[in-house]
Structure 1
Amino acid sequence: MKTSLDISQDKSLLWLMAIACGLCAGANYYCQPLIHSIQQYFHVPESQVALTVTFAQVSYALGLLFIVPMGDIVNKTKFIPLLMIMAAIGLFLCAFAVNLPMLWLGTMITGLFSVAAQVLIPLATMAVKPEKTGEVVGFLMSGLLVGLLLSTSLAGLMSNLFNWKLIYMLSAVLMLILAFLLKARLPHIPILKMSYAQIFKSMAILLKQEPRLGFRSLIGGFVFAAMSTLFSTIAVLLTSSPFYLSDVLVGVVTLVGVFGALSTSKIGKIADQGHTQSLTWIGLFTLIVSWIFLYFGGQSLPSYILGYGVISLGLTIVHTSNQNIIFRLRPDAKSRINSIYMTSYFIGGACGSALGVYSWHHGGWSMTCLAGLSLVLCAAFFAFLDMRYHSAAST
């Protein structure tokens, strides 16, 4: 077993970890472009099939809250592959589903255990030199974000060319292969002696003792809410007047976000140099500009595509800055810190999705853009509070 506590030079291991992060993240999004195909396959109302997306999100949130914190008190070398094996079982259930409840069960198992990526990232930060934290986290986040962005496009493409179940089958097999490879190569990290019940008490104490964790969690939650406002309305906007794009072309449009995802490692290097505050404000400004492009994108596809690329970049900058800061707060509590941050992040995403749908139905695209912009401004407010607290604490 690998025992070195600096994996930053082990490129093959980092690539394995990045691919695992991408596969785990993408596993929760396959169902989104497949709603119509699943509805036709099982001959059930589309509204019932749409619940699959909800089950994926809720189960993932539960995994973030109840499974990820365990990363601080268990052997991660065994724990991460085990989580991936369980996620693969969920994917196999989806692939062989004979009815909708079986698909729901597989989706929930996959969502619950695909949080392996959120245990893998804190592990990586504990196995590198502190000055390499941002670079390594950025590299793994690039894999995670690319996997997330590609998942819907690949699922839709495979469904159109072959069968909607194929993406689940291939992902399950890949998940098992990666689990086997990682088990042999993940570094061994010392664990804390703490009971499961004590984990949650300590998480409350962490929030009280580390105000920056709370501020950065809120910043992350609001910026992902802004992005999710866009996610929840992209299909209804681009498939209607004046665009009338097909489902496959809608998926192609979202691929522009890959460029933002691929910049994560570079942004992490800048963050490692101590520029997290500057990066945060640059990211927030980028998000504000993106909503201007997106507003005009309601009538212009080039403007929409440019806005989508810019908002993906802005989200990447803020998220990478946040993670660079929180992972340096308490080296002995990185899984619990990540659990707090990512739970806030995805709660923000769920609320943003709901707000996007509400805004679209009550004020169209203009109201949706106003909602997205307002969420970014809320993030900026907490960034200001974080900056003031950090300045006061440093003097």
Structure 2
Amino acid sequence: MHTNKETPELTTWILWLMTILSGLVVANNYYNQPLLALIAADFRVTESAVSKISVLTQLGYAAGLLFIVPLGDKVHRKRLILIDLAFVVGALLLMAFAKEIWLLFVASFLIGVTSVIPQIFVPMTAELSAPEQKSSNIGLVMSGLLMGILLSRFFSGIVGEYFGWRAMFNIAAGAMLVAWLLVYMYLPEVRPNFVGSYQSLMRSVGKLARSQPRLQLASFRGAMAFGAMSAVFTTLVFHLEEAPFYAGASIVGSFGLVGAVGALAAAFVGRLNKRFTTYQLIYFSLLIVVGSWGFIYFGGATYIGLVLGIVLIDLGLQSSHIMNQTDYFSIPTNATSRLNTVYMVSYFIGGALGTYLAGMAWQFGRWDGVCAVGATFSILAWIAHVVWAKKVTMDVEKGDS
């Protein structure tokens, strides 16, 4: 445990730096989504084949979360972030210059593995925040991350349509060089809080996953809700290409801008924690995710239906995500990076599963199939919360008493 003397102060500037860099880095995982049709045309492959790029990026992200993020408790975080950023640049350049489809798959996986820095920032924020500011500070950093996810689609759609899909990854590599300089110049060092081998560190991750029911439930809720959103965003590009839309990459990317409305609203959910319980906030957030599919399915042939559905699914997902993190970061332990590892690995496995099943559903059932996958994931998240959340809370309170 750190003493106050050893713990750096979380200034407003440092908090905003982590917020902005979280958005810039996480965006690397999502630039590909509006570009899939362009990539498929360039390499003369099918839409379902090129959708593997999104799946591999999410699986890579899950691998990075599992094997890199726990190191935030063991090694100096600033050094870890600087080394990781150098590898991010290399992976993005490999994507930009790949001439074979299999190289795109490799590059996509590596981009996912290395773009995990925001998940080092989030536990840093939780660790350095005063208890009464924890929810709102996590909400701010998460809003940066979420804006990065959503605006990345908008930006890459425009760049792809006017400059080609490869230009986007060159621009992203340049942005990561700027991020490296900002981290080197301004980010404070946080001392590690785990002493032991890497093997024992990873064993402790497994122990947390097995022994913390609050973390287990948050992980399932997060995985299912993110799987639902991944289903719609991965296949949206194919849906909008067809009748009655016949839309290009820039229109598809603009739905990321639409989703940003929901993400911005979700940034304020931490402030509501003073008036409502965590259970209530997650309950209604997941109910919004379930309800969004009514607009996405029944209004799926209109822009207004899709816009309302995307705003609602993003609002519900990001609100529940912030409250999930507030919930498990309240577990009394200093293993913040490892708690975040368990949750975020589950989260992105859920995203990869949603992406994969939506790709299959599109092939066999088009938009109706995608909606069936997304709605099922959403309902499972909400049911799990309703059935188990109060029981988990009571069991934890009994154990603490």
Question: 1:249 aligns to what?
Answer: 251
Question: 1:219 aligns to what?
Answer: 221
Distance change >3 Å, CA 357–CA 51, structure 1 → 2: closer
1:393 aligns with 2:396: yes
Contact 1:153–1:252 under 8 Å retained in 2: yes
Distance change >3 Å, CA 247–CA 177, structure 1 → 2: closer
Stretch deviating more after TM superposition (181-190 or 195-204): 181-190
**What per-residue deviation string (whole Å, max 9, x for no partner) do you get for residues 77-128 of structure 1?**
2111221121112222333445545544443332211111111211121111
Give the drift of 1:76. Answer: 0.5
Question: 1:95 aligns to what?
Answer: 96
Contact 2:78–2:187 under 8 Å retained in 1: yes
Q: Separation in 1 of the partners of 2:101 and 2:368? A: 36
**What per-residue deviation string (whole Å, max 9, x for no partner) do you get for residues 236-279 of structure 1?**
32222233322321221332110111123311222366621111
Equivalent pairs counted in the alignment come to 391
Stretch deviating more after TM superposition (186-195 or 122-131): 186-195
Contact 1:3–1:188 under 8 Å retained in 2: no
Distance change >3 Å, CA 15–CA 198, structure 1 → 2: same
One-letter identity of the residue aligned with 1:302:
I
Question: Aligned with 1:64: secondary structure?
Answer: helix
Question: Aligned with 2:324: secondary structure?
Answer: helix
Distance change >3 Å, CA 153–CA 96, structure 1 → 2: same
**What per-residue deviation string (whole Å, max 9, x for no partner) do you get for residues 178-226 of structure 1?**
2222233323323110211112211222123311000110011111111
Give the drift of 1:283. Answer: 0.3
**What per-residue deviation string (whole Å, max 9, x for no partner) do you get for residues 293-333 of structure 1?**
22221233212211111111000111111010111214411
Q: Separation in 1 of the partners of 2:303 and 2:373? A: 20
Question: 1:304 aligns to what?
Answer: 306
Give the drift of 1:350. Answer: 1.4
Distance change >3 Å, CA 103–CA 290, structure 1 → 2: closer
Distance change >3 Å, CA 50–CA 365, structure 1 → 2: closer
Contact 2:152–2:256 under 8 Å retained in 1: no
TM-score computed with the length of structure 2 as normaliser: 0.89
One-letter identity of the residue aligned with 2:396:
A
One-letter identity of the residue aligned with 2:322:
T
Give the drift of 1:367. Answer: 4.3
1:45 aligns with 2:33: no
Cα RMSD after superposing both structures: 2.4
Give the drift of 1:152. Answer: 2.3
Question: 1:112 aligns to what?
Answer: 113
User: Where do residues 18-167 of structure 1 align in structure 2 (5 Å cutoff)?
Assistant: 18-39=19-40, 43=43, 45-46=45-46, 49-167=50-168
TM-score computed with the length of structure 1 as normaliser: 0.91
Q: Separation in 1 of the partners of 2:133 and 2:374? A: 33
Stretch deviating more after TM superposition (353-362 or 21-30): 353-362
Question: 1:316 aligns to what?
Answer: 318
Question: 1:258 aligns to what?
Answer: 260
Question: Aligned with 1:207: secondary structure?
Answer: helix
Q: Separation in 1 of the partners of 2:369 and 2:153? A: 26
User: Where do residues 291-370 of structure 1 align in structure 2 (5 Å cutoff)?
Assistant: 291-370=293-372
Q: Separation in 1 of the partners of 2:363 and 2:105? A: 28
User: Where do residues 275-294 of structure 1 align in structure 2 (5 Å cutoff)?
Assistant: 275-294=277-296
Hey, which bits of structure 1, 4+ residues long, moved more than 6 A?
none
Question: 1:230 aligns to what?
Answer: 232
Query: Structure 2: which 5+ runs fail to align?
Result: none
User: Where do residues 152-231 of structure 1 align in structure 2 (5 Å cutoff)?
Assistant: 152-191=153-192, 192-231=194-233
